[in-house]
Structures are given as C-alpha cells and as structure tokens.
Amino acid sequence: MESLAGEGVLEDEKQQVNEELLLKQITDLVINQRLLSGKANAEDRVVKFVHPEELKGLVELSLGGSSLNHVQILELCKQAVEYSVKTNHPKFLNQLYHACDPVGLAGAWLSDALNTNLYTFEVAPFFMMVEYAILAHLRGFIGWEDGDGIFAPGGSISNMYGIVLARYKKFPEVKSKGMSGIGELVAFTSQEGHYSIAKAAHWMGLGTDNLIIVASDSSGKMIPAELENKIVKALEQKKLPFFVNATSGTTVLGAYDPLEPLAFVCKKYDVWLHVDAAWGGGALVSHKYRFLMDGMELVDSVTWNLHKMLGAPLQCSAFLTKHKDILHRCNSASATYLFQTDKFYDTRYDTGDKSVQCGRKVDAFKLWLMWKARGDRGLEEMVDNAFECAEYFSRQIAQRSEFRLVLSEPNCTNVCFWYIPHQLSNCQESPEWWEQISKVAPAIKKRMVEKGSLMIGYQPLPHKNLVNFFRLVIPCQPRPTHEDMDFVIDEIERLGCDL
C-alpha cells in the first residue's frame, strides 16, 4: 500500500497541475534562480541569447486541445526563466527600467492573487484607500497640497491623460462635439520629448502635424524662448495652442527641461503645461537633486513612472494634476451598472469614473508597500547613489581616450558616450570617420549580448546629428556600485579592442 500511495503522488504530478505546489515552486524558482534585485551572482549571464527562429525549435509554443501535466507546466516556467533577459542583473543597463524592488514584488503578487479590479470602493475597499494615500504622498513631493491623480498602465497613457485634460479644460465642448468644429488645435513638445506624445497626437485626433516641435539646447533641454516663438507663430496663424509637454529626464540624454521659465510662458498664453517626468521624476525624492525640477509645483499635470527610476514593479505610472475635479468631469460616463448613487456607503470613493479604463489593475499597492518598507529616506538614498554612480562613470570615461562623452556632464542617471576603437583614434574626424563610428556600438552590442556579459542600449540622435552612441542607464535597483561602473568600462574595451 505504501508504494502504491507513493506512485499515486507521482501519478498525480504527471496527471494534473497541483496549483498550490506550483505557486511554491514558482517562489522557489524565483529565489533559487536569483531573480530578485541584488541577488544575481557575478558569474550569471544577463541573457542567454537565442535567435527567434531557434527559440521556436527549443520551446513548444503552440497551443492545442489537451492539457499538460504538472511537470510539463513547471518545465515551461523554467524555460521562461532560461530564455528571458535577467533585468535584475547589475549589468542590465539597457533601458529606463530594470529590476524591481522585491517588497514591491511581494505587493504585486498579493494583489495579483486577490485579482482585484480597481473601480469602486465596493469591490476594492482596501486598495482604493491605498491609492488615495500614495497619490497624495506623491503630490506632496511635487508641492501640491491638493489636486487629483490616477494610476495608468504606463507613461504613454499617463501622457494622454495630460493632453485630454488640457484640451477639455480649454474646450470643454470637445467631449461632446469632438475636434472637428473647434479649430486647429496645436500642442508643443521638444525635439527630445518622448514618442508617446506623437502617438497620442494621432490617437487624440490632433494629428502629428499639429504637434509642434520645439528646439532643445546642446544638452537636450527645451529652450523657453523657442517655445514662446512657436506659440506666437501658431497664434499668428490662427491656430489654438492648448498643451505643452515638458520633460524631466529625456529618454536618451536625460535632460531636465527648465520648468520655471516654461511655466511662465505657458501662463502668459494660457496653455496647459504637462511634465513627462516618467523617467526623471525619481529626483523629486532627493533633497540633493530635486533642484532639477524646480518649478514643478507650477505645472498643471505630471506623468511619473515609479517603475522606472524608483524600481516599482512594472507597470506603475502615476498621472497627477493640481486641478482637483477635472479628472472626473472630463472622463466620467456615469455607467449605471457601476456607479449607482443609491449605494449604502460614501460613493465619493467610487473613483473608477475618473479613468478612461473600466477595469483597472491595482498598481498602487505594490508601490505603497515598497514605500512603507523603504521610507522616503531609503528611496532618497537609492536615488542619490544612482546619480553619484552616473557622475563617477562620466569622470572615469572622460579620462580614457577610447571613450568620448556625448555631454560633458550627465543630466540624469543616463550617460551617453561613444567608444572609439584604436584604429580610429588619431584619425581625421570626417563624415566617413563618423560613419565608421556609427557601426561600433552595434558591433559591440552584438558581442556583449552573445557573450551575455552586459546589456547597454545604443541609438543615434539624428536631429542633433549624432551617430550611434551608447546610453548607459543607471538604475536604483539593483543598487549599483563603482565596481559595476568599472566593469562596464573594462568590458566595452575588451569587446571592442580588435574593432
């Protein structure tokens, strides 16, 4: 009987998924494979790269009629880990996101398990109150005692909230009448602004031609006088300026637009000023670096992606506005099956109608939990360390002839630079030479990914006439060190020495 029982267990594993066991195994997999921020070993690879067509041969991707058993499901999870990029690796310095805070992850797991949808107090009592609390705390860093906000599924959609509110404030009839009768609305963003503003201009019915591009200075900051010129010109052409997108921490150069003078211009012409602080917003928690966003309290709305610099789990994008009631007035549709007025509790907490979504994931809780665990001071210390590492990295490569900084000092925690191979140093810097340089970053990138030792992004910046250069993005999670910075420099030299 004993052995039969044993076989029974084995049979079970082969027959069907034991769901509680699977969750425990996932937990063990995450821990044992060192997937948590700060846990990767030096000898781990950032990525085990396999080409798309190869991956199709390695993993049974297709779906069909019958079910898989427990062992097979666990095997697929292991394959997911094996062939995924390790964003928690200290050498994943590729994008504006990275590892997530493990306490935030615990929060995400718990709210995922509760499978809560955030639109009325009735269905999400705890999480609704948490969203209120964390949004109020974030507004405090901006310097607003009042106002409103909402979590959106990413910065692009947060930015859309800004455009839609700006349009509604100036032309409330747009909600019912649409764009066709109002006239030629125009919005403004800098050359360095995120491409989501262009996508939004299309979606919102504005059209990308009506998104007017404002020049930036050599460090990537929008030039307030240029903005004013463009607004004046638009007014002369009988166009209707309604929205300016400034950026705190541009995607490539990490530039912080000068908010005070931009706010002055926007106020003068009665135009809504939105700040896309998706990346650079983290500076707000630092006493040392918040000067980068001086004037923040003067703007109308802000996008702040907490999943970027502060390391909340993806997606965690706060949209914030200083205007208290506009989110609801602008977006409400008062669906009677959700937002009944004859409920037995205080329905002011049924905030779902502020959203353009119906169902909405709980993004607030994971952020709130990690903030509780770190405190303002813990997050500040992380941000200060990341900025300090960027400064250290810049100083180090400034001293080496094989490297050249795109900007002499980093704006934010992204550092942009070229690697100049030996055979190209001491040559005349002709267009042909730059053409050669443009091929260096892609070649080194290929090698680093195939080796799995490092991931750093590269890109050109055509409007600044800059060919492909590396953009190192220094995260808060996992906590970077000077050693990590030195490794990056040495590894690029190793990978590029024979180019």
Residues 43-62 that bind a second copy (CB under 8 A): 47, 49-53, 55-56, 59, 61-62
Q: Could you tell me the smallest distance in angstroms from the CB atom of residue 264 to a second copy? A: 28
CA dist 287 and 305 (Å) reads 19
Strands (E), 248-392: 272-276, 301-305, 317-321
Q: Which of residues 348-367 bind a second copy (CB under 8 A)?
A: 348-349, 356-361, 365
Q: Which is nearer to a second copy, 6 or 375 (CB)?
A: 375
Q: Give how many residues touch a second copy by CB under 8 A.
A: 164
Helices 70-82 & 2-15 angle (0-180, nearest 10):
50
Which one of 12, 44, 68, 391 is in contact with a second copy (CB under 8 A)?
Answer: 68
Torsion region of 35: left, alpha or beta (phi above 0 gives left; psi -120 to 50 gives alpha): alpha
Q: Cis peptide before 399, with omega less than 30 degrees from 0?
A: no
Pick from 45, 123, 269, 391 the residue near a second copy by CB under 8 A.
123
Residues 6+ apart with CB under 8 A from 112: none
CB of 111 to a second copy, least distance (A): 7
Q: How far is the CB of 1 from a second copy (least distance, A)?
A: 28
Residue closer to a second copy by CB (options 237, 348) is 348
Least spacing, CB of residue 399 vs a second copy, in Å: 27
Count each helix (H run) and each strand (E run) in the chain, helices first: 16, 12
In whole angstroms, how close is the CB of 443 to a second copy at the nearest point?
9
Select the residue interacting with a second copy from 2, 41, 64, 238 (CB under 8 A): 64
Residue in 102, 220, 282, 480 binding a second copy, rule: CB under 8 A:
102
The reply to whether 411 sits near a second copy by the rule CB under 8 A is: no
SS3 content of the chain, % helix, strand, coil (to 5): 45, 15, 40
Site for a second copy in 253-292 (CB under 8 A): none
**446 binding a second copy? (CB under 8 A):** yes
What number of residues does the chain have?
Answer: 499
Q: Which of 12, 44, 95, 424 binds a second copy (CB under 8 A)?
A: 95
CB 128 within 8 A of CB 386: no
Sites for a second copy among residues 447-476 (CB under 8 A): 449, 457-462, 468, 471
Only segment of 96-104, 213-221, 226-234, 241-249 that touches a second copy (CB under 8 A): 96-104
Query: Measured between alpha carbons, how far is 92 from 494 in angstroms, rounded to an integer?
Result: 18
How far is residue 309's CA from residue 141's CA, in Å, rounded to a whole number?
A: 15
Is residue 109 part of the contact set for a second copy (CB under 8 A)?
yes
Q: φ, ψ for residue 318 (rounded to 5)?
A: -95, 130
Peptide bond into 315 cis (omega under 30): yes
Rounded Cα gap, residues 80 and 452, in angstroms: 17
Question: Which of 340, 423 has the CB closer to a second copy?
Answer: 340
Q: Does 42 bind a second copy (CB under 8 A)?
A: no
**Smallest distance from a second copy to CB 4, Å:** 26
Q: How far is the CB of 298 from a second copy (least distance, A)?
A: 24
Binding mask 147-186 for a second copy (x = CB under 8 A): ------xxxxx--x---x---------xxxxxxx-xxxx-
Q: Minimum Å distance from CB 88 to a second copy?
A: 7
CA angle 328, 332, 338 (to 5 degrees): 115
Kind of pairing between the strands at 455-461 and 414-419: unpaired
Residues sharing a CB contact under 8 Å with residue 203, sequence separation 6 or more, in sequence order: 160
Structure tokens at 161: 């909230």
* Span from 21-29, 222-230, 321-329, 382-390 in contact with a second copy (CB under 8 A): 21-29
The minimum distance between CB 319 and a second copy, in angstroms, equals 14
Quick one: tokens of 399? Answer: 């001293």
Cα–Cα distance for residue pair 377/14, rounded to 1 Å: 50
